[in-house]
Structure 1
Amino acid sequence: MRHLVWFRADLRVADNPALYEATADGVKVSAIYIDCLKQWQQHGRSPIQRDFLSRHLQALSTELAALGIPLTVLTIDDSSQTPELLVNWLADHPHDALYANREIGLDERRRDKAVQQRLKELLEIRVFNGDCVFKHGSLTTQSGDMYKVFTPFAKTWLAQLRATGYRLHPVPKAQGSAVTATSIELTGERVSSAAWPVGELAARDRLRLFCESGVYDYGDQRDYPAINGTSSLSPYLALGVISPSQCLAAIEQQLGHLPMSRGEQGFVWLNELIWREFYRHLLVAFPRLSMNRAFKPDTESLQWSQDKAGFEAWCSGHTGFPIVDAAMRCLNATGWMHNRLRMIVASFLTKDLHLSWRQGEDYFMSRLIDGELAANNGGWQWAAGTGADAAPYFRVFNPTTQGERFDAEGDFIRQWLPELVEVPTKRIHTPHDWLDNNQPGHDYPKPIVDHKRARLHAIAMFDALKDQSDNIKNNADVQTNKQSELWLAQLDQEPV
């Protein structure tokens, strides 16, 4: 007997259900990772994340080798070739069962369906939930539907946590002597991710240090980009180097309990983990989110601007709004952006420049080291007012007051906008008059929009949707739901 573990977005040996179950009976185990550069590029993922992935695969190979498990990296030109690739590889390397943790994107689910259909006569296939604390589709309304608003989902999620707790799968026992680690170097464009340490130990150390200190002040410090007040764990969660259940365990170990309500220490960060789960459950329940479609069907008719110059100014950090520009230049230079800044720049793109959230979503994915579809799409649609939210359209962030509130001294702005270094603190968020008077040769741009007018126009865009008849909206919902049901019917059952 020999089992094969197919690693995907779960690059860890601890709390890995597929790996644990594959090794549970003491059966010899091998591991594979299938790399498709074309699919990576089609999904618009960033060069810095590709470098991070390559380094983590090397770290995973070393971890598995210590357990006596060899890791083979297979490459294909197109993801549609996956079933045949596996058939051919298994012909030369016979195995009795294939173990994997579920991936949630629609392309990945279609690929896995094709693999199951092609390989079902060759070996047993077992798929597990290694993605969320609670299996996708297991938290529903009384009518059996997926929640469309976060708050009731969070209440149900917490109730389930109280009732059943969570499960951690231990690191498997070594299957004999260690083997030689595979040397791994992925092809394709890469940007150095050296600022981020790799490996499970590094991820767990970062989690432990955050829980020992940052988790206590997270609610007070998380919104200030000049302060190191966030966990910075999202790049590791995106590749599955660490699991959400491990995050829960770290909180519980530090506090002695799991915070279950607002006001308890640690709950604000726990709530962020629930947001992550919400967006991942949505992605599974509503396949259209993987298809570049709005969560709210009626918002498909929003008339977004086609201002190419405005988009380029936003991308490069030359909008004339210091907090927006500093955030975008930070992203471009480091592949990382603080969460408060993500909300500010997303609101600016969609509500001030009136550009489609799809443009922002794509640009973020092309730059972020922690880019992953569910969170990126969920965040952008939340900001744009097209996503899963009770009353989103009138939420328009004022970029100037956001800067004044969350970077009051201008420390973050000065770090990324050298042309504003000498501007006095009291003028740092509206520096243009001071620059004109004191540095007449400066090249910092004037604001490219009038925020007050832009805000009114954004609200008017959504008000125009209200003028549509209820029948048009209902028909859009019905057609979209039918399409979702068709997609879901083509896909697999829930993992064990």
Structure 2
Amino acid sequence: MHALNVVWLRNDLRCYDNAALSSAVEDASKSGAAVMALYIATPKTWQLHDMAAIKQDLIRRRVLQLQQEMAALNIPLLAVEGSSYQQVDVVFTALCRQFQLKVFVQTEYELREQQRDAAIEQLVLANMGQFIRFDTQCLMPPGTVRTQQGDYYKVFTPFKRSWLAQLQQQGVRCCARPAMLPASNLQWTQQVMTDLPAMKEADNSSQQWPVAETQVLQLMRNFCRDKVADYQQLRDYPAIDGTSKLSAYLAIGVVSAAQCVARLQLEAADSWLQEKSGAAVWLSELIWREFYKHILVAYPNLIKHQPFQEDTAAIRWRNDTTLFNAWCQGQTGFPIVDAAMRQLNQTGWMHNRLRMISASFLVKDLHIDWRWGERYFMSKLIDGDFAANNGGWQWAASTGTDAAPYFRIFNPVSQSEKFDPKGDFIRYYLPELAALQGKLLHWPHTTGGIKAYCKPVVDHAVARKLTLALFAEVKQKNEH
């Protein structure tokens, strides 16, 4: 029976800094085993996870591109289509019948994914194979950054302090792209393909996002070299292209957190540790990403959509479907919220400041359960990532870690005036307001406003009082 090293790709769709791939190639060079990469698309499971159509398209386009990049290394990438995680078993059963397997994978943190991996590991081991894991989604894997008592951190600031201390102590190491292997003549494709069809082509809805690994690495380098210095000043203004736009690539692993940090240290060597420099603030965003993944591992109930602060499960949300639909469609009568939601619906991406404003508005102005918004974002975002999305929504709803105190409620009009002062962003997504100037653009419902725009669905001052009452009711019950 031939020996075969299988690199089972999931959210690590890259050749550079891919520990599973590098280890499989290194092992093969010593053992003489053949190497193949494997990707299994599972649309039904994606649907169950509310994965956005545009993200599914990005994955498909990236896998097809990665097939070419791997072919240049003489590594065939088998991309097949199962309906759900149950079909993963079909592929590995077929491979186990034909080969002596070593499976190389990057660890996944979500519950269903862990169950899937445990089942495949048992299958491979039962067939005398090996299942080798690499915990490389985070630069500091969950469990490696702990308090002095050995617990997971529940608050971001001390987590960040400890994370940075560890970074300085151990540094960053990225794997090189593996060397080209000798051509292999193993006949594996037909036998496996009889069990599952080839992965379907993409629909190109993510066409605006390049998928070649070299292009994505260049975007990262350009940002760290040319833009990161201004990141702190510009990152909150949605009309300005001041963010890295790497979140979609981090979510599916075209680029790794380690690559981002290594490049940042190289390009901003003098400033990445200076408090409030652009480089330090961007690094802080990468640490937030890691923090939420650590929290997800420490508190697996979050994957079941439970609030981190358990008492907030008792909040009596109003959950008005008419108001929810107005929010989804960008028809609330609050220009910054509506422009944000239209950006999401039209492009599959939303500026981070707008994510906070629109999330706060749904929960604290419309009194709708944060889980409705969390799910809607996931169904639209090209960079949808469970841990980050859940963490962000719970932060906005004051139900999570580091929760903004419940009495901190964004005023959508003053946020609009502050972060889109000239109204360029609002005008772009709300052309019906294009003729308005100054304060009228941010609040077009006074005399001299415009009739073509929808009326406000709530009174912010009244809604604010109701939010305080909803939270106070729960807090008082707990105190008693």
TM range (shorter): over 0.9
Q: Counterpart in 1 of 2:157? A: 151
**1:249 has 2:262 as partner:** yes
Among candidates 454, 457, 465, match of residue 445 of structure 1: 454
Q: Which runs of 5+ in 2 are unaligned?
A: 190-196
State the alpha-carbon separation in 2 of the partners of residues 290 and 456 from structure 1.
Answer: 31
State the alpha-carbon separation in 1 of the partners of residues 88 and 388 from structure 2.
Answer: 26
The 5-angstrom pairing of residues 316-355 of structure 1 reads 316-355=329-368
The 5-angstrom pairing of residues 348-427 of structure 1 reads 348-389=361-402, 391-427=404-440
Q: Which runs of 5+ in 1 are unaligned?
A: 472-496
The 5-angstrom pairing of residues 43-442 of structure 1 reads 43-92=49-98, 94-122=99-127, 123-177=129-183, 186-187=199-200, 190=203, 192-256=205-269, 259-389=272-402, 391-434=404-447, 436=449, 439=450, 442=451
Amino acid at match of 1:103: E
* 1:50-82 superposed Cα distances (whole Å, 9 cap, x missing partner): 111110001111111100000111322331342
Indicate conservation of the 8 Å contact 2:22/2:175, yes or no.
yes
How many residues get paired?
Answer: 465
The Cα shift of 1:84 comes to: 4.2
Indicate conservation of the 8 Å contact 1:222/1:230, yes or no.
yes
Amino acid at match of 1:31: A
State the alpha-carbon separation in 2 of the partners of residues 165 and 214 from structure 1.
Answer: 23
Indicate conservation of the 8 Å contact 2:237/2:420, yes or no.
yes
C-alpha spacing 1:178/1:430, structure 2 compared with 1 (3 Å):
farther
C-alpha spacing 1:189/1:459, structure 2 compared with 1 (3 Å):
farther
More displaced 10-residue stretch of structure 1: 170-179 or 65-74:
170-179
* 1:108-137 superposed Cα distances (whole Å, 9 cap, x missing partner): 011111111222122011000120001111
C-alpha spacing 1:265/1:370, structure 2 compared with 1 (3 Å):
closer
SS at match of 1:120: helix
SS at match of 2:224: helix
State the alpha-carbon separation in 2 of the partners of residues 195 and 406 from structure 1.
Answer: 25
SS at match of 1:10: coil
SS at match of 2:338: helix
**1:18 has 2:34 as partner:** no
C-alpha spacing 1:48/1:348, structure 2 compared with 1 (3 Å):
same
Amino acid at match of 1:210: F
State the alpha-carbon separation in 1 of the partners of residues 16 and 368 from structure 2.
Answer: 42
Amino acid at match of 2:133: V
Amino acid at match of 2:121: Q
SS at match of 1:41: helix
State the alpha-carbon separation in 2 of the partners of residues 280 and 326 from structure 1.
Answer: 30
More displaced 10-residue stretch of structure 1: 328-337 or 113-122:
113-122
State the alpha-carbon separation in 2 of the partners of residues 224 and 363 from structure 1.
Answer: 23
Q: Counterpart in 2 of 1:34? A: 40
Amino acid at match of 2:470: M
Indicate conservation of the 8 Å contact 1:4/1:95, yes or no.
no
Indicate conservation of the 8 Å contact 1:47/1:191, yes or no.
no
User: Which runs of 4 or more aligned residues in structure 1 lie more than 3 Å from their structure 2 counterparts after TM superposition?
Assistant: 184-191
Amino acid at match of 1:453: V
- The percent of aligned pairs where both chains have the same amino acid is 47
More displaced 10-residue stretch of structure 1: 127-136 or 190-199:
190-199
State the alpha-carbon separation in 1 of the partners of residues 73 and 201 from structure 2.
Answer: 30
The Cα shift of 1:251 comes to: 0.7
State the alpha-carbon separation in 2 of the partners of residues 101 and 204 from structure 1.
Answer: 20
Indicate conservation of the 8 Å contact 1:47/1:190, yes or no.
no
The Cα shift of 1:188 comes to: 9.3
SS at match of 2:394: helix
TM-score normalised by the chain length of structure 2: 0.93
Indicate conservation of the 8 Å contact 1:46/1:365, yes or no.
yes
The Cα shift of 1:193 comes to: 0.7
Cα RMSD, aligned residues only: 2.1
Indicate conservation of the 8 Å contact 1:296/1:387, yes or no.
yes
More displaced 10-residue stretch of structure 1: 365-374 or 116-125:
116-125
State the alpha-carbon separation in 2 of the partners of residues 14 and 172 from structure 1.
Answer: 8
SS at match of 1:24: helix
Q: Counterpart in 1 of 2:469? A: 460
State the alpha-carbon separation in 2 of the partners of residues 450 and 108 from structure 1.
Answer: 43
More displaced 10-residue stretch of structure 1: 187-196 or 98-107:
187-196
State the alpha-carbon separation in 2 of the partners of residues 186 and 351 from structure 1.
Answer: 43
The Cα shift of 1:258 comes to: 6.8
State the alpha-carbon separation in 2 of the partners of residues 191 and 451 from structure 1.
Answer: 40
The Cα shift of 1:427 comes to: 1.3
TM-score normalised by the chain length of structure 1: 0.90
Q: Counterpart in 2 of 1:475? A: none
